[in-house]
Chain A
Amino acid sequence: MANVLWLQGGACSGNTMSFLNAEEPTVIELVTDFGVNILWHPSVGLEIGEQVTDLMNDLIKGKKQLDIFVFEGSIVQGPNNTGTMNYFCDRPMKDWVKELAAVAAYTVAIGDCATWGGIPAVPPNPSESTGMQFHKQKLGGFLGANYKSKGGLPVINIPGCPAHPDWITQILVAISTGRIKDVLIDEYHRPKTFFTDFVQTGCPNVNNFAQKIDGHFGKRGGCLFYEVGCRGPMTRASCNRILWNRQSSKTRVNHPCLGCTEPGFPHHDLVKGSVFKSLKYLGFLPQDVPTGEGRLKYYIRAGWEKILPTNKALKETSK
């Protein structure tokens, strides 16, 4: 049994919508079968007005136990660090977050805005947004590099824009069933179980990547890495292993991976020429290369493949 409070700051509610798509378990099964007790949630909570304020005050004073504090959305600090661009229950949301994070057994940041600031933190960052414990790649964020919840862990980051429902439900279940010790976290505080493999793992175009066969919008087959900015080889996430909405994934429908589970999304801060186009050096060398591969080593390896004749059988596609 675990008491969960879920709040939203500078949020679009996308992670909540994703969470509501959950299967095995569904959100309802989470409540009825897995002992997750949702104290309040902005989209499904029954309480309104002062009832919510009272609940939060009870948690902060320890009258009620807060086992899991889930936060969705950026921490809005503007203007001038007052946080008054995001009021909640008559106070800046950031003030509630500080006090609730201090009493929570575990604190979970869901989605890119809560983990590292996300789109609201793109320059000029009009709302002075940041993440719970990271600002883009930099450790610190709102709660500071040294923050640990009462359970002894830093903020558990479940990134993604949005996060996949399985990533959310499995962490909630791990905590509520006492298996949190099985959750290892990486340098960005992401659970390794979901964020070790790359999006490219399980992508149906991986042969085309190896053979340097280009893909294009509205066409079947080909790899989207070379021309339209796919970040599958640079992005750790299980999208192509577990699929989305039980059906598909971006790269399976010819949609370049946007790299949304890595800090820094949207990458290159949306500068001219970076949206659905691969940035190039000298007009032909990809600026971003697969994670773990040095640029020069990649150019040599890829250049070799590029000059060899491609396997024609791999170019065949069918409606």
Chain B
Amino acid sequence: MVKELNISPVGRVEGDLDVKVYIENGVVTRAHTQAAMFRGFEKIMQGKDPQSGLIVTPRICGICGGSHLYCASSALDTAWKTQLPPNALLLRAIGQATETIQSIPRWFYAIFATDMANKKFANKPLYQEVAKRFSAYVGTSFQTGVVASGRPVEVYALFGGQWPHSSYMIPGGVMCAPTLKDITRAHAIMNQFRNDWLEKVWLGCSIERYLQIKSWDDMMAWVEENESQRNSDLGLFIRAGLQFGLDKFGQGVGKFLAYGTYLHKDKYNRPTIEGRNEALISSSGFFDGKNYHVFDHKQVMEHVKHSWYADVPASHPWDEPMPTPLPSQNLMETKFDGKYSWAKAPRYMGYSAEAGPLARVVMNANPANKSHQIQDPLFGDIIQKLGPSVFTRVLGRMHEAPRLYEFINQWLTQIDLDAEFYIKPQEIDGQGFGATEAARGALAHWIEIEGGVIKNYQVIAPTTWNVGPNDEQGNPGPIEAALTGIEIEDPHDPVEVGIVARSFDSCLVCTVHAHNGKNGEKLKSFKL
């Protein structure tokens, strides 16, 4: 017999995610994700000052505000054909990296690992130890991890003034002109982050030792190398994750998309859309499960057949008409063969693709990466040996912390206090594209400026990739696919659904946020 289970809200994702699953003999046979909130930010920007995105888009998402800012400033850079001094590219990369590394312990302890302390796993041998460390609030690592997560964004604040919600990245560079004091302090804060959490609690070894791991066999050997590594939070996560079977569910679509990020200080001084791929330090690409493809933003299309907007053919963001919102329903009353989410369904080359840290580390393993790009074969090997799952997704995200720590320190040393931070640009009409990797994956903005105001602004957030509904052909989004096949033990506490959704680090505020609203009235013209 098929049972339907409605879960509203799923919780501990940013924003409201509702899920409907169909269960047969305890196994999910079909799943639908519903993004349940609409704000219409893109519509708000239409007709406004071209720089509005610098203020508005970080506020689409309080957890990825720096990433939105990275995109908004880049989109204007390409539209206005600015020049960027190396210092500006370094300080933007530092902002992006500190936001992402902040999210790593915050997400792991506050959002994800508390589920490993759920009673579902109580009969597993490692459960006692997991519950002791990872239980919400009282876990011995919980407070350490959550408090440590505030440190990297102190570095963001040194250059951006505050986190979240700064607008310090602007077309042509950055607002700030730091001094020696700021650089020294930033190094010291990052060192504290390493000493308090990254090496001491998370790795149980030096960053240098950890980064020698190049394959899954290396990783397993690392765990057993000594007590310190075995008993570190990472060591415990790997042992318990495998014991609890987190590697056995939540596979998803097995195709990955990354826009890449961290534009190299000397390779993007004349920003163009065409020159972006080559300038990235963390590379972009599409991995179809077997082969890597070069990223081209023109391959992105958004589908609305199952979204609460009037039907239009799937189209590229620059060509998308302003969608008209339609009446929505609550989860119980929604007809899932029709429209059922405020999220649209983006597709790359027609495919549903997973965005996120796992996609990034898969791109980092691309043998075609250049010498200035990350070359790290580890997750090429892990995807082959283990395949995607909740476990590999978490491991991929956590794997970024040591490398980001090294990058931030390296970039800080490269800032030239005597050189420029900003080159004032000419404001012109045109089209722009800016992209990055938010902590939770591929984020991009498309802008069109006409008559000195915004004509069109489109945002596709990483969670839109992951949580989006079925496309025109009826193919599920990555989370819908990842939920299919999971076993639900207790329908009153469907923790398995939460674990899968949280392994994607879903951020519904971004997803829902960003879609265009109803056709607004004509805006008043501005008078001084």
Using CB atoms and an 8 Å cutoff, list the residues of chain A in contact with chain B: 8-18, 20-21, 23, 26-28, 31-32, 42-53, 74, 76, 78-79, 84-91, 93, 118-120, 122-127, 129, 161-162, 216-220, 239, 244-255, 258, 260, 266, 269-276, 279-281, 287, 318-319
Contact = CB atoms under 8 A, between A and B. Distances in A.
A248 B15 contact: no
Contacts of A246: 154, 157
B331 A90 contact: yes
A16 B44 contact: no
B509 A11 contact: yes
B16 A218 contact: no
17 contacts: A13-B63, A13-B507, A14-B63, A16-B62, A18-B62, A21-B150, A26-B146, A26-B147, A32-B137, A42-B9, A79-B518, A126-B520, A162-B165, A247-B154, A247-B185, A254-B175, A274-B49
A13 B331 contact: no
A123 B523 contact: yes
B418 interface: yes
A255 to B, nearest CB: 5
A258 B167 CA distance: 10
A90 B18 CA distance: 9
B521 interface: yes
Nearest to B492: A50
Given A48-B9, A254-B176, 5 more contacts: A13-B61, A16-B14, A51-B493, A249-B162, A250-B166
B528 A13 contact: no
Contacts of B63: 12-14, 17
B406 interface: no
Contact of B12 (A15, A43, A50, A250): A43
B37 interface: yes
Interface string B124-167: 00000000000011100011001101100110111111111111
A82 to B, nearest CB: 8
Interface in B242-256: none
Contacts of A49: 6-11, 494
Contact of A119 (B6, B36, B59, B493): B59
Given A49-B6, A76-B37, A258-B167, A272 B453 contact: yes
A284 B332 CA distance: 59
Interface in B153-198: 153-154, 156-168, 170, 172-180, 185
Interface stretch (B50-58, B208-216, B309-317): B50-58
Contact of A20 (B7, B45, B149, B160): B149
Interface string B484-528: 000000001111011000000001010001001110110110101
A32 B332 CA distance: 38
B390 interface: no
A11 B11 CA distance: 14
A45 B12 contact: yes
Per CB-CB distance, the 9 closest pairs between chain A and chain B, nearest first, are A126-B517, A14-B62, A218-B422, A126-B40, A124-B520, A244-B162, A245-B157, A250-B161, A218-B421
A217 B159 CA distance: 12
Contacts of A120: 39-41, 44
A253 to B, nearest CB: 4
Interface residues of B, number: 109
A27 B137 CA distance: 9
B156 A245 contact: yes
Contact of B44 (A31, A50, A122, A319): A122
B528 A287 contact: yes
B61 A12 contact: yes
B44 A126 contact: yes
Interface of B: 6-12, 14-16, 18, 36-41, 43-45, 48-52, 54-56, 59-63, 65, 88, 106, 110-111, 114, 136-138, 142-143, 146-147, 149-150, 153-154, 156-168, 170, 172-180, 185, 325, 327-332, 342, 417-418, 420-424, 452-453, 492-495, 497-498, 507, 509, 513, 516-518, 520-521, 523-524, 526, 528
Contact of B36 (A87, A239, A244, A266): A87
B345 to A, nearest CB: 19
B173 A319 contact: no
A218 B174 contact: yes
Contact of B153 (A90, A216, A245): A245
Contacts of B6: 49, 90
A85 B421 CA distance: 42
A47 B40 CA distance: 29
B507 to A, nearest CB: 8
A27 B150 CA distance: 12
A119 to B, nearest CB: 5
B164 A17 contact: yes
A162 B146 contact: no
B62 A162 contact: yes
B420 A44 contact: no
A20 B9 contact: no
Nearest to B520: A124
B36 A86 contact: yes
B146 A20 contact: yes
A257 B41 CA distance: 22
Contacts of B518: 79, 124, 126
A216 B332 CA distance: 55
Contacts of B110: 20, 43-44
B177 A21 contact: no
Contact of B330 (A14, A90, A245, A319): A90
Contacts of B7: 48-49
Nearest to A80: B327
Given A87-B331, A248-B162, A319-B417, A52 B36 contact: no
Nearest to B153: A245
Contacts of A79: 325, 327, 518
A53 B9 CA distance: 9
B36 A88 contact: yes
Contacts of A12: 59-63, 65, 509, 513
A107 B10 CA distance: 25
Contacts of A11: 15, 62, 509
Contacts of B111: 43-44
